[in-house]
Amino acid sequence: MGVHIVMDQTGDSRHTFNPADPQAVEEAEKRFKELTGAGFTAAERTGNGEAQVTRAFNKDATETLFFPRLKGG
């Protein structure tokens, strides 16, 4: 199972998908493109609490984290 973890001002939301299901992969890729297009940074978990920034959708990533753009104030 893959999961997209979207961080925002209210906490986080999780969206799971089955990488073997073409329709679920299509929806996950659409979510990835929408979030990164809206300014979110995507990072794939690589293990031991580490993550690596990614700019391309990877259906085989176990967890992808989405961080919102920082806002100055």
**CATH number, domain containing residue 49:** 3.10.20
Q: Which residues in the chain land under pLDDT 70?
A: 72-73
pTM over 0.95? The answer is no
CA 15 to chain centre: 9
Decide: 68 and 43 in contact? Cβ < 8 Å: no
Q: What per-residue confidence (pLDDT) applies to 24?
A: 97
Classify residue 50: in a domain, yes or no: yes
Range of the domain at 37: 2-67
Classify residue 73: in a domain, yes or no: no
Total domain count, the chain: 1
